[in-house]
Each structure stands twice: as structure tokens, then as C-alpha cells.
Amino acid sequence: MGKTSECRDCGEEIAFEKNKNDRWAPVHPLSRAPHRCEIEVVCQECQKTFKGSSWMSKCPDCFRGGSSGSGSPPGAPSPSRTREDLDPGHGGLDDDAPPF
């Protein structure tokens, strides 16, 4: 089974092994499945209780944009802007010239 330790957040027994990116990651000591904390956390946006890690401040719904607060629905395209809006100091440049 190897050396194990306790997760700092949930207290579950975990082990560490290198992942595909050659970084140490927490895993279940027997199954070697990635460890995911499942403690109760309160969302700072909607006050809903969900299961996750202590560092999570938003529930999955709010994180994905359920209550983003930006005023536009998630996935809505931003309004088009003219070249002048993007680069007001371009006056006199040749339109065929590279932008750099």
C-alpha cells in the first residue's frame, strides 16, 4: 500500500503518486483513483450548501455562470466593436500594413 497521510481538508486517508504531467497528486491509497474532497461548503453567491473542497467559494452552478452577475446571459456574444474602438490611435496607418 505504501506511505499514506491524511487530507488537510477532509481528513480522508490519501497517498500521492505522479500524474501524467509529472506532478504529485493525491489519490485513494488502494484504488489509486484521484482524491476529491467531499466536505460541505456554502456558496458565497447563492448560499446553497454543496460538497467540495474548502478552497471552493462557489457552487458548480454559480461557477459555470448560473449567477455570474455580469448582466448578460452566459454564452451571449459581446457587442461588435469598430477598429476605432479597439485602436483609437491608428490614424494614418495603411490598412494593408501588418498590425505590429
Asked if residue 54 belongs to a domain, the reply is yes
What average pLDDT score do residues 73-86 get?
62
Asked if residue 17 belongs to a domain, the reply is yes
Asked if residue 28 belongs to a domain, the reply is yes
For residues 6 and 30, state if they share a domain.
yes
Tens digit of pLDDT for each residue in 20-59?
999 999 999 999 999 988 889 899 999 999 988 888 889 9
| Three-state SS at 50 | strand
Within 13 Å and on the Cβ side, how many CA atoms surround 91? 2
> pLDDT class for 71, splitting at 50, 70, 90?
very low
Range of the domain at 18: 1-35
Report the C-alpha gap between 7 and 11 in whole angstroms: 5
- Number of domains forming the structure of the chain: 2
Q: What average pLDDT does the chain have? A: 78
